[in-house]
Each structure stands twice: as structure tokens, then as C-alpha cells.
Amino acid sequence: MEAAEGRRAVAAARAAAVSCGLTVEDAAVLHDSNKLTLRLLPCDVLARVAPEAQQVARFEADLAERLAASGCPVAVPDPRVGPRVLGRDGFVVTLWTYYAPVAPDGVAPADYAHALERLHLGMRTLDVPVPHFTDRVAQAQRLVADRDRTPALADADRALLAGTLRDLRRTIVEHGGAEQLLHGEPHPGNLLATGGGPLFVDLETCCRGPVAFDVAHAPEEVAAHYGGLDQGLVRACRTLVLAMVTAWRWDRDDRFPDGHRLAGEWLERIREARSD
């Protein structure tokens, strides 16, 4: 967020927590992107703050509680507040349980795969209206096709991304097979290593598709520990996901640190994958 917007977001989080009877004397920023993530003390809750127009907070909080009730490894709203969505000054605030990190090196591949399998097992039991994964691919395709939105993307790179998104979307759809509710972006940044085991966060990107699409967001070593996968499909999904993420980094409004440098590296990885 811009500095002024960020200050307003922090104030909104503090006010929302106080309105729920929690004591707030300090707010530490943990993550700043399209939404702000804060640790509020001494009540020790995690506050997520998003502009009102961009949020899916109600969906995310309710789904987290349903998944946790099914035994899924997910972070949950703070029990003192529950899945309430609090509006303040043009922002929406949700208050979550704060989980202290316990493994600075991240989650081991086997544990990562087991947690993802448990998440998928629980998700399989829910009927939730979400976009199809191809809808998210289509968003990336529209971005790549829009030169005004991606003015720094070179023509050859634009053609590479457009062709990769088109071809691999078709390959994965034509592969067929079972589809289900997915996390949508279960990458390492959305998996917490806690004292109670790995927990997934950020459910706002949920979609429907093959489990290989989710596994493709995890480190490559994880796929070897996830049972019953078509590894060829995982590889196709991995390259598709990389193309999607690369497209987002070229968005003129993207604020990801060092995004263009990373996108350039990812373009080379896509070229290598497409030439195999």
C-alpha cells in the first residue's frame, strides 16, 4: 500500500480490534502488498486489512472455519472474534489467530505434501462456488494482451507468454480427470510452520481444478511425496503457473519488489521448459 493508505489501514485494524474488546498498544507490519497484514499486541492477533472494493474477507473467514472443522490444516479466525468482517474507513478487517513461526527453514517436502493432501481431502467434501482455474488463466491472458497494462513487456516475451498460457491451458483441460475445490496458491509463502504443524493461509484465491494445479505451486520436491499424481500433468501445471505469475509481474500497477528482474529470470525458465 502507499504510505498514506498504509497508515489509514493500520488505524483501521487497531480500531476494529478495540471495537471487539481487544487491547491494542502496538501494531507490527508483517506483510504489505494489496492488503496489509499486522500483528496487534498485547492482544496478539493477526489483522488482515484490505480496501473495501478488493476484499473477499467474508468468503475467506467462513471457509477457513469450515475447513478447520473438517480437520484441514488451515489458519483460523481468532476465537475471541470469530469470522467477523469489520468495516473501517473504506477498509475491511478480519482478525486471525497469530501463530508463532517455529521452523525458519520452512516445511520439509514430505510434511508439505502431507498437509496439502489433508487440505485437498477436506476440500473435496465442500461444495463452494468458486472460479475455475481457467478463469484465473484468462485473467493473465488478458493482461498479456493489453499493451497499456503491460507496456514494458517486449514483443517476443509477450508472444512467449501468450502462447504458453494458451497452449498449456488447453493441454491441462484436455487431460481430463477429477477436479475439486483447490487452495489456488499454496506456495511456501502461504504455508506457516507452527508448533501444531503446517497450516495454510490466504484462501481468497480458491478455485476449482485438478489437484496438480495446486501441487504446481509448491517446491518441486513436494510433488514426489504427494500420492497418485500424474507427474507430466504437474510439470505442465508448473509451467502454466510460472507463466501466470510472470504475467502479473509485468502489470504496470504491480508492486512486487524487484518484479521485472524476477520476471526476466522466469521468462528464461519458461523458454527452457517449452523447448524440452
Residues whose CB is less than 8 angstroms from the CB of residue 50 and which lie 6 or more positions away in sequence, other chains included: 34, 35, 36, 57, 91, 92
- Label each residue of 174-215 as H, E or C: HHCCCCEEECCCCCHHHEEEECCEEEECCHHHCEEECHHHHH
Question: 71: pLDDT confidence band, cut at 50, 70 and 90?
Answer: very high
> How far is 68 from 99, CA to CA, in rounded Å?
15
Residue pair 273/236 in contact (Cβ under 8 Å)? The answer is: no
Q: What is the mean pLDDT of residues 57-70?
A: 92
Residue 192 has pLDDT above 80, yes or no: yes
Residue 34 has pLDDT above 80, yes or no: no
The pLDDT of residue 55: 66
Q: Taking the alpha carbons of 108, 224, 204, 199 in that order, is the dihedral positive or negative? A: negative
- The vertex-152 CA angle with 146 and 158, nearest 5°, equals 55
> How far is 255 from 119, CA to CA, in rounded Å?
30
Question: 41: pLDDT confidence band, cut at 50, 70 and 90?
Answer: very high
> How far is 236 from 167, CA to CA, in rounded Å?
10
Query: Omega into 104 within 30° of 0, i.e. cis?
Result: no
Cell triple for 119: 487440505
The pLDDT of residue 45: 97
Q: What is the mean pLDDT of residues 77-91?
A: 92
Beta strands 191-194 and 197-200, pairing class: antiparallel
Residue 95 has pLDDT above 70, yes or no: yes
Residues whose CB is less than 8 angstroms from the CB of residue 235 and which lie 6 or more positions away in sequence, other chains included: 273
Q: What is the mean pLDDT of residues 226-239?
A: 95
Question: 53: pLDDT confidence band, cut at 50, 70 and 90?
Answer: confident
Q: What is the mean pLDDT of residues 195-224?
A: 95
31 or 98: whose pLDDT is higher? 98
Residue 1 has pLDDT above 70, yes or no: no
> How far is 239 from 48, CA to CA, in rounded Å?
31
Cell triple for 259: 518484479
Cell triple for 212: 496438480
276 or 147: whose pLDDT is higher? 147
The pLDDT of residue 31: 87
Output the average pLDDT for the chain: 94
